[in-house]
């Protein structure tokens, strides 16, 4: 789901949250490569944060940093 701007939509799962947003990656690069090369945080733009247990949206923000240590699953696309 990459467009000309280099943004790729992803869905990230943590223990408590489902987070949807966009990451900036080089055209043709894999999300796995981006994740491996990221330092301590993954930067998302146009992010939506959902509480998994409550099934409700917590917030929508233009920018969000997510600690790699809390990411359990990262999937391309918005699922």
Q: Is CATH 2.30.30.100 correct for 7-76?
A: yes
Burial 24-54 (b: 16+ CB within 10 A, else e): ebeeeeebeebbeeeeeebebeebbbbeeee
Q: What is the pLDDT of residue 79?
A: 64
Give the pLDDT confidence of 4-62 residue by residue, as tens digits. Answer: 448 899 999 999 999 999 999 887 788 888 888 888 999 999 999 999 999 999 999 99
* DSSP secondary structure code for residue 3 in this structure: -
pTM of the model: 0.84
- Whole-number Å distance between alpha carbons of 23 and 6: 8
């Amino acid at each position: 789901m990459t467009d000309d701007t280099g943004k790729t939509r992803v869905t990230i799962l943590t223990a408590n949250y489902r987070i949807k947003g966009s990451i900036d990656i080089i055209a043709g690069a894999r999300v796995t490569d981006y994740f491996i090369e990221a330092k301590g945080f993954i930067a998302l733009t146009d992010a939506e944060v959902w509480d998994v247990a409550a099934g409700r949206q917590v917030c929508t923000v233009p920018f969000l940093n997510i600690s790699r240590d809390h990411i359990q699953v990262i999937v391309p696309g918005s699922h």
